[in-house]
Structure 1
Amino acid sequence: MDTLVDLWLTDNFFSPLCCHVDVSYRIDCGGSATITDDFATTWLSDRYFTGGATAVVSEPLRFSLRPQKTLRFFPPTTTGKKNCYLIPATQAARYLFRTFTVYDNYDGKNRPPSFQVSVEGTVVFSYRSPWPETLARDGSYSDLFAFVSSDGEADVCFYSFATDPPLVGTLEIIQVDPTSYSTSAVGSSGHVLVNYGRLTCGQDAWGPGLTNDIDLFGRQWQSDADFRSNNTKGVKVISTTAAIGGVNQKPNYFPMKLYQSAVSSNGVLEYELSVDAKLDYLLWFHFAEIDPQVNKAGQRVFDVLINGLNVNRIDVFKTVGGFKAYDWHYVAKNLNSTKLVVRLNPVVRGPILCGLENYAIVPNDLATVPEQIMAMRALKDSLRVPDRMGWNGDPCGPTSWDAWEGVTCRTNKDGNALVISRIDLGSQGLKGLVSDHISLLTNLASLNLSSNSLGGSLPEGLGHESLVKLDLSNNEFVGSIPDTLATSTNLRLVLLNNNQLEGQVPDQMYSIGVHGGAIDLSGNKGLCGVPSLPDCPLFWNNGQLSNHGKIAIGVSFMVVFILLLAVTYICIRRKTNDYDFGIPHELMSMAAKRNRYHRQKSLMDLEMESQHAKGHFVECEDVTSMSERFMSANPNSIAAVGPRSPSLPDVVQLIIVPSAMKLWN
């Protein structure tokens, strides 16, 4: 197995949460066995992984959940700078991804690592040393919503800065409704929604992994208290145990608990959210009028301001009535600060808020063409690329990081995907062979696999119109040079020297050197047929038929086939003529008489042999007269047609009755 962290789970690990959730995985990274925590949540062990190493936090008693006490880390010196979890996703859909990240000085170095995390090829989380003390000691959860393509897997990858080993404590993936969070407003599969704050107002943090409260999407909600600005005065918490209408409904399935608590104030209600000014943000507001004193429209009215811009006026009771959930969202664009200020200004009575979500709208990064990802993974296996090279995840993406070691990429003609343009793996100690899937690399311009120990034959799909340079020298390739390689019209450099190739070199390939390119075929004792190489035998070459031999045999078979057709035709014509030819009646009569004469003559011969056996001898001149007398005296002496002797020709045989013998006495 390779260092890519593969997770292919059986159907027993699917854990649907309700009717709308089809796939749910929770992985205890570094855990030695599958467990069930205090909240009846099943955590899957990643003990079958070969990528990276496992560790335990230095102070495990600080953590209440067992999955938080273990972690997996990826030393770049042994596993490369890029390591990935490949999680099965049986259908293209939208998923919630969540990680728990903690350092807690597990390695005794008191230096948290610097690294980044990507989902489906888009960088979403970044950790830079030094970390905030609470993050390093206690850890934190990070989550996002992302679409997974139809390739059957979800990729979560970790990228190392310098020699720092990335790490992860837990990894979760939960399928959600594809139309959740207004894909019409922010785009569908073209964006990732990264959580920059999911606040519940008037209560402590709750949700999966924190409390027994259920959120069908697996969302965790944190208290809003730490995000209120100093401008917020006179905060009042309002809560209820009454049922709230309009909750747990498609497509977002917001839980009732979110709307059973709210905050209000006598004046403004203001929050400061940290953001990245280069991105746009989706703000999702949650309201419910749960104050019994407000029982008709117009009794609570307030304005919503985003970075000082008045974007909406809200009257919850007027919109949905009392004790019913009401949601409203807004996309903040063109930010010029790392602070996003959300302010609720009172118009009538103080504002009220149950919850607030803030998501960065991160455009999907370019990804490699799926067919070429397949080809590169096949090459990784067939070439036996070592783990230290980090050939994991997308070969080219994300664009903010280098491609796989030894691989160069570029955008395709349409500018919407990445393609492989160059592979340089010379002198890497490779010992495999070149996969036939290399034919899928239709944009490959340069391939260097020189000075390794690669063997096998050269695949037919090696030659493409895009291929310009090919260096396979100093390996152990066998077989002939494929004709498809010879027809690559753009080839300018071909180095196949010092291999074990054999057979005739295609004329088109040798023309590369004639037209200003360079070609080196030396060191292949079995090659022949072009200048500087031996002539190929006419019919046989290195234990195989040469091209000339194959042509000669083909021509010979053709000639024989034509002759057979000619002979068959002549025979058919001759049979047809014999059948149509009619013998005249006179000739038929003469033939019948002649046959009768020969039968009589045969009878006389038999009689003579019988007499000769008894000692009687008849002179030759008496035979004719004797036969004439015998036939005239005994016209009925020929009794019957006897059985045919298998040793005699197909003629009539005669049996002589005893009375005929009297003539001889």
Structure 2
Amino acid sequence: MALNCFWVTLFLFFGFLGVVFCEQDGFLSLSCGGARTYVDSSNITWFSDDTYINTGNITTINYVEDSGTYSSNVPLRFFPESQRRNCYKLPVENTSSMVLVRAQFMYKNYDRHWKPPAFLVSLGTAITSTVNLTNKDPWIEEFIWPVSKATLSFCLNAIPSSGSPVISSLEVRPLPRGAYRSGMGGFSNKSLRKRYRINSGYTNGSLRYPADPFDRIWDADRSYTPAHLSPAFHIPLGLNLSSLKESPPLDVLQTARVLARDDFLHYNLPLDTFGDYYIVLYFADILPVSASFDILINGVVQQSNFTITTSETITLYFTQKQITSLDIAFRRIRFYPQISAFEVYEIVDIPPEASSTTVSALQVIEQSTGFDLGWQDDPCLPTPWNHIECEGSTVTSLDLSDTNLRSISPTFGDLLDLKILDLHNTSLSGAIENLDSLQYLEKLNLSFNQLTSFGSDLDSLVNLKILDLHNNSLQGIVPASLGELENLHLLNLENNKLQGTLPPSLNRESLEVRTLGNLCLSFSTMACNEASSNETPKVTVITNRKHT
């Protein structure tokens, strides 16, 4: 799925001009909520998103452009009352090493409630942005993502009490191999969120496909504070672009903002998020002089006495850590500082995924419950699955209470990092088993089942603090090995069929032992001899509830 392009070189008296022709191989353009395939004015083919997502409802709105001169019916997909991830599975196999992902979110009061939603957007395991359609509607987000798997999960994550996530379009575009990696040595395994992509010196609207074969949108230059005090130039000079990894369009490099009447040329750029940023500057000397100038970012010289010669093209890369605003400036040394284009990206961390063993185990366990628990992709990130809690990318808590689990399968033993396991009221019977590998387990709730035997696995749970076994059918005596669990401070054995003397090792000040409702349980042999062997245990009944 690589972008197929070929160059035609036209030799003219003043140099050469490269013209690129491309097919849309690798383009994926989804009309979210749309029902038909169509071709837009840029000759890009759009498809329904039905194949790529299985949740959400669809509707259509009449959208009027800000200018008021054009209106169209725009389909939307929205996700009502959803607290889980709503994910698109985007194919990126055999694309380049980096892809551009662009999404448009639109509310426009489609539900007539006048309550624009806010929600989180994630790619893979990373929360990449927060969309708040109260602030801007429509809202466009664009990301550059390093490809590592055959599919990429693009998810809309609901924020409680903030409305239903909604999306109108979603695009994937392959990027040149090796692009947007230079200068990122200290930032491994990162994604980029676009903040600015400016075609300096060009003021007549934005530029995109087919001028840019990778369909990046280059926004028009405008007067950023402080004023440029400089003119715009467009000179169709032949340029050699082969050394530029990002392959910017020739049309972009043939324009420039040039300093004319001052010592500084500024781009003062507001940033909406405190964080780390990646900056790409493009230079093409389209004037018949060799200019020299300093490049400053937030007042600090990043490149001194930078020189570019006629017809030369150069890309420079910079990173800025922990900033809230950005001022890119060019200070004159000799002749006229000039800039052809620039891009600014917020650097977004990509957290590690949960282990494949954990994911496989949880998928098997979900099947055994008989319920669709909505478990998709990574269990921990960007937000934990329902019934699961995590520490970073590690699953530490699992609550499957009130499901018809019937047994603790060996798969539970693969969840090695669990600290909390709640399987109360899950129709378990027989012996407690398949838990001996859970060395970090601190709280185990197996109450309200039909368990009849302690088994031997509990002996291995050396970090166990709370063991809740009340309202089962446990019979016989309490094993002395439970007293060897030094961290145990609550043992609930109420309402079982246990009898006999409790092990002396359980009789310690740091441990609370609850025994009501058994035939006879005591630390005193005499107390049990005096008790009636026909005493009926107290039983609490709990019914299965539908699991969601």
Q: Which residue of 1 aligns with 2:379?
A: 395
Shift of residue 431, structure 1, vs aligned partner: 6.5
Partner residue, 1:344: 330
For 1:73 and 1:458, locate their aligned partners in 2 and report how far apart those are by CA, in whole Å: 45
CA distances 1:618-662 after superposition (whole Å, capped 9, x unpaired):
xxxxxxxxxxxxxxxxxxxxxxxxxxxxxxxxxxxxxxxxxxxxx
The residue number in structure 2 matching 1:244 is: 239
Partners of 1:497 and 1:262 in 2: CA distance = 76
Q: In the alignment, which of 220, 224, 244 is matched to residue 221 of structure 2?
A: 224
SS at match of 2:42: coil
Alignment deviations for residues 469-498 of structure 1 (CA, whole Å, 9 cap, x no partner): 332333578x99876566545456555666
In structure 1, the partner of 2:539 is none
Query: What TM-score does the superposition give when structure 1 sets the normalisation length?
Result: 0.62
Between structures 1 and 2, the one with greater strand share = 2
Q: Does the alignment pair 1:355 with 2:355?
A: no
Question: SS where residue 382 of structure 1 aligns?
Answer: helix
Q: Which residue, out of 302, 305, 323, partners 2:293?
A: 302
1:70 aligns with 2:75: yes
Counterpart amino acid of 2:193?
Answer: V
Q: Shift of the alpha carbon at 1:462?
A: 6.9
Aligned to 1:80: 83
Where 2:121 maps in the other structure, the secondary structure is: strand
CA offsets 1:602-633 (integer angstroms, 9 cap, x no match): xxxxxxxxxxxxxxxxxxxxxxxxxxxxxxxx
Alignment match, 2:157: 159
Shift of 1:425: 3.6
Offset at 1:455?
A: 8.8
Contact 2:431 2:455 in 1 (8 A): no
Deviation at 1:109, TM superposition (A): 2.0
Does residue 1:441 correspond to 2:403, yes or no? Answer: no
> Alpha-carbon deviations, 1:1-36, whole Å to 9, x = none?
xxxxxxxxxxxxxx5323799854333221224444
Q: Which of the residues 387, 398, 407 maps onto 2:388? A: 407
| Matches of 1:40 and 1:117, distance apart in 2 | 28
Distance in 2 between the 1:65 and 1:313 partners?
A: 50
Find out whether 1:130 has 2:134 as its counterpart: yes
Unpaired runs of at least 5, structure 1: 1-14, 412-417, 534-665
Report the alpha carbon displacement of residue 275 of structure 1 after superposing the two structures with TM: 1.9
Change (3 A) 1:262 1:234: closer
Count of residue pairs the alignment pairs up: 477
Cα 1:93/1:518, change in 2 over 3 Å = farther
Name 1:176's counterpart in structure 2: 175
CA distance in structure 2 between the aligned counterparts of 1:230 and 1:371, rounded to whole angstroms? 55
Per-residue deviation, residues 32-83 of structure 1 (Å, max 9, x unmatched): 24444333323332225332222223437879898x92222222x3x32433
TM-score (ref. length: structure 2)? 0.73
> Which residue identity lines up with residue 272 of structure 1 in the other structure?
N
**CA RMSD after TM alignment:** 4.1
Residue 357 of structure 1, CA deviation: 0.8
Structure 1 residues 25 and 453: CA distance shift in structure 2, 3 A: farther
Deviations 1:260-287 (CA, angstroms, capped at 9, x unpaired): 2222241343212122563222221111
Does the residue aligned with 1:279 lie in a helix, a strand or coil?
A: strand
Relative distance call for 1:222 and 1:455 in structure 2 (3 A) is: farther
Distance of aligned partners of 1:55 and 1:483 in 2 relative to their CA distance in 1, 3 Å threshold: farther
Structure-2 change in CA distance of 1:255 and 1:481 (3 Å):
farther
Tell me the amino acid that sits aligned with residue 153 of structure 2: D
Distance in 1, matches of 2:92 and 2:348, equals: 21
Once the two structures are TM-superposed, the CA of residue 176 in structure 1 deviates from its matched residue by 3.4
Q: Quick one: distance in 2 between partners of 1:53 and 1:103?
A: 14
* TM-fit CA distance, 1:463: 4.5
State how far apart, in whole Å, the 2-side matches of 1:23 and 1:485 are. 54
Partner secondary structure for residue 511 of structure 1: helix
Structure 2 CA distance for partners of 1:65 and 1:99, relative to 1, 3 Å: farther
Give the structure 2 partner of residue 419 of structure 1: 394
Name the counterpart of 2:111.
107
SS in 2 for 1:69: strand
Q: Find the counterpart in structure 1 of residue 250 from structure 2.
A: 256
Is residue 380–residue 390 contact of structure 2 (8 Å, CA) maintained in 1? yes
Give 1:119's aligned residue. 123
Which of 319, 330, 344 is matched with 1:331 structurally?
A: 319
Matched, 1:30 2:33: yes
Specify whether residues 90 and 486 from structure 1 end up closer, same or farther in structure 2 by C-alpha distance, changes over 3 A only: farther
Aligned position for 1:518: 491
Q: Distance in 2 between matches of 1:237 and 1:521?
A: 84
CA distance in 1, matches of 2:456, 2:37: 54
Counterpart in the other structure of 1:51: 55
Instruction: Check conservation: 1:99, 1:141, Cα contact below 8 A.
Output: yes
CA contact (8 A) 1:510 1:519 kept: no
Structure-1 separation of matches of 2:407 and 2:40: 47
Cα–Cα, structure 1 residues 345 and 492, in superposed 2: closer, same or farther, change >3 Å?
Answer: closer
The question of whether the paired residues in 1 share the 8 Å contact of 2:430 and 2:453 is answered with no
Secondary structure at the aligned position of 2:357 is classed as helix
CA contact (8 A) 2:107 2:133 kept: no
Helix, strand or coil at the partner of 2:212: coil
Secondary structure of 2:282's partner? strand
Q: How do 1:358-373 residues align onto structure 2 when only pairs under 5 Å count?
A: 358-365=344-351, 367-373=353-359
* 1:187-245 deviation per Cα after TM superposition (whole angstroms, max 9, x unaligned): 4642222111000123334454xx532333x32111121x52243224233232x4321
C-alpha distance in structure 1 between counterparts of 2:226 and 2:492, whole Å: 75
Calculate percent identity across the aligned residue pairs: 24
1:52–1:72: 8 Å Cα contact kept in structure 2?
yes
Distance 1:489 1:232, change over 3 A: closer
Check 1:346–1:498 CA distance in 2 against 1; reply closer, same or farther (3 A cut): same
Matches within 5 A, 1:237-636: 237-240=233-236, 242-247=237-242, 251-267=245-261, 268-276=264-272, 278-291=274-287, 294-295=288-289, 297=290, 300-313=291-304, 316-318=307-309, 322-335=310-323, 338-365=324-351, 367-385=353-371, 391-398=375-382, 403-411=384-392, 418-427=393-402, 436-452=410-426, 460=434, 463-475=437-449, 487-491=460-464, 494-495=467-468, 511-512=481-482, 518=491, 520=493
Contact 2:416 2:437 (C-alpha < 8 Å) held by counterparts:
no
Q: Distance in 1 between matches of 2:181 and 2:369?
A: 45
Does structure 1 conserve the Cα–Cα contact (< 8 Å) formed by 2:97 and 2:178? no
Structure with the bigger percentage of helix: 1
